[in-house]
Copies of this chain bind each other. A is one copy, B any other.
Amino acid sequence: MDNLYETGLAANAANHTPLSPVTFLERTALAHPNRLAVIHGEVRRTWAETHRRCLKMASALRKLGVRRGDTVAALLPNVPEMLELHFAVPMIGAVLNTQNTRLDAKTMTFMLNHSRARIFFTDREFSDRARAALEGCDAKPTVIDVDDPSFDGGEALGTMTYDQLLATGDDDFQWQPPEDEWQAITLNYTSGTTGNPKGVVYHHRGAYLNALSNVIGFGLPSGAVYLWTLPMFHCNGWCYPWAVTAVGGTHVCLRQPHPEPVYDAIANHGVTHFCAAPVVLNMLINAPEELRKPFDQAVTVATGGAAPPAATIEAMEGLGMKVVHLYGLTETYGPSLVCEFQDDWQHLSLKDRAAKMARQGILSLSMTDMMVADPNTLAPVPRDGTTIGELFVRGNSVMKGYLSNPDETHKAFAGGWFHTGDLGVWHEDGYVEIKDRSKDIIISGGENISTLEVESTLYDHPAVLEAAVVAAPDDHWGEIPCAFITLKRGHEHLGQDDIVAHCRANLAGFKVPKRIIFSEELPKTSTGKLQKHVLRSQLTS
């Protein structure tokens, strides 16, 4: 018999609209026109103003000849203009490529060429590298300066400023939603350690769904006040430019996540939510007492990139902030797993609670499926908390693929799963715990050593500020664990023996670092991730 429900019931303009996060801006401008959309230095703008500026910038870009499928690159810190571009660029079907501001000029040139950038928004702070990047660049984008008064120095490079371009836009511009929600919205290059970076393509549907998933998972209420400690260039700020807008919240911009402006923003602007790597949390915790200011509101912090150590969780709670642990990758629009806090964990000791919270967790709302499995056969590992496998995920907030890179795209999606490249175990309760990146695992005398486990032990030592463990080549063992450590102020006297003794008391013998190197500072990416390849190269050079 025919299916009644599939006869004469096709989609039409009244009942089907392509999903796009741009619609969040439209709705919020209507629902909360007078609420503060953005705070930056002395700048205060409402949602009505921000909405008008986005429409006008979309119009101005259109007049410059930007069309559907064109790339608009942005080398910007967390300023209001960066937020606006997250709406203005997709309004005309173009694709926003937010560039990591700490990369070298050569990589910037590669990205501009590879994405055929038509426009390049820059900030004076990065003018040296931006100029060098443009010199070797075939794409010849039109350069526009965001002239942020809160930064002194550097040089303007462009043909005009953001505000001058804005002034050329029409006030009554009508934007068009994408024809297809699968259309690209942004491009994020992964900072690979070898070879050229890969261009991760996001689409309107995924950005919409991951933004709503963030709102629900992070508990953003209507009118949330969100502090921009996480760079917006990093996975489009985990989709928070769209998520915070969806709830009519306020974006509090910050050029740099230094402790003083963070504490100021929390106290002065009523910040309720922010995202930051554990290393940024440590910076807040270890900031001089006099920088801290009292605040009344509840503050929730999402952290990821590395598991938050127990000491960090405890200290953050002591500061009156609740920590949520997330896991994600550039390829998954940022957060894809969340360590959903179980109601009964609140009765655990801090140590046991921190161990639970260090797990990467389970699927976020916008994801569909996950497994820890054999990287070759895709056979799931047992949920025993010990067998290591690779984490695979599926869902609507997995990238479209890598731009102009069919081989890597094909490899990433082999077998109908996204291969995260992260190794972990699957616990009985379904929670995943990442043990290492594939390339970070140390194999010493045939035994696998999780560098995360060793680092976690090192962090338990009261004198350790930061720790990174990498493999050092060894004739006898193949590889041996080597630890790079920075010490807290006042603990500089500590010797290697203290560290080794602490590790021996807490780790299997073969996991104890065979070399300990004290350092003033560890090399980090712009998002606060430790750059282990830099440390490895120090060992072998």
Which chain A residues have a beta carbon within 8 Å of chain B's beta carbons?
1, 3-9, 11-17, 19, 23-24, 27, 30-35, 68-69, 71, 95, 115-116, 177, 182-184, 187, 201, 206, 209, 212, 215-216, 219, 221-223, 246-247, 340, 342-344, 362-363, 365, 368-369, 393-396, 398-401, 403-404, 406, 409, 412-413, 416-418, 429-430
State in angstroms the CA–CA spacing of A417 and B15 once bound together: 8
Q: Tell me the dominant secondary structure on chain A's binding face.
A: loop
Given A212-B216, A219-B222, A246-B365, CB of A413 within 8 Å of CB of B7: no
State in angstroms the CA–CA spacing of A35 and B393 once bound together: 25
Q: Is the CB of B95 within 8 A of A14?
A: no
Given A17-B395, A394-B14, CB of A221 within 8 Å of CB of B223: no
State in angstroms the CA–CA spacing of A329 and B317 once bound together: 46
Which chain B positions have C-beta within 8 A of A395? 15, 17
Nearest Cβ in chain B — how far from A115, in angstroms? 7
Which chain B positions have C-beta within 8 A of A223? 343
Please give the count of copies of this chain that the complex contains.
2
Which chain B positions have C-beta within 8 A of A393? 14
State in angstroms the CA–CA spacing of A222 and B13 once bound together: 34
Given A9-B201, A14-B394, A27-B362, CB of A69 within 8 Å of CB of B216: no
For this complex, 24 residue pairs linking A to B, each with C-beta atoms less than 8 Å apart, are A4-B69, A4-B115, A5-B95, A5-B184, A6-B183, A6-B184, A8-B401, A9-B184, A9-B403, A9-B409, A11-B400, A14-B417, A15-B206, A15-B398, A17-B369, A17-B394, A17-B395, A19-B396, A32-B340, A32-B343, A33-B429, A212-B365, A215-B216, A216-B216
Nearest Cβ in chain B — how far from A367, in angstroms? 9
The residue that A17 contacts in the complex, of B68, B212, B215, B368, with Cβ under 8 A, is B368
Which chain B positions have C-beta within 8 A of A14? 393-394, 398, 412-413, 416-418
A177 — nearest CB in chain B belongs to which residue? B368
Q: Is the CB of B399 within 8 A of A15?
A: yes
Given A222-B219, A396-B17, CB of A4 within 8 Å of CB of B365: no
A199 — nearest CB in chain B belongs to which residue? B4
The residue that A4 contacts in the complex, of B362, B403, B418, with Cβ under 8 A, is B403
Q: Is the CB of B416 within 8 A of A13?
A: yes
Which chain B positions have C-beta within 8 A of A1? 116
Q: Is the CB of A394 within 8 A of B222?
A: no
Q: Is the CB of A5 within 8 A of B183?
A: yes
Q: Is the CB of A430 within 8 A of B30?
A: yes
Nearest Cβ in chain B — how far from A273, in angstroms? 14
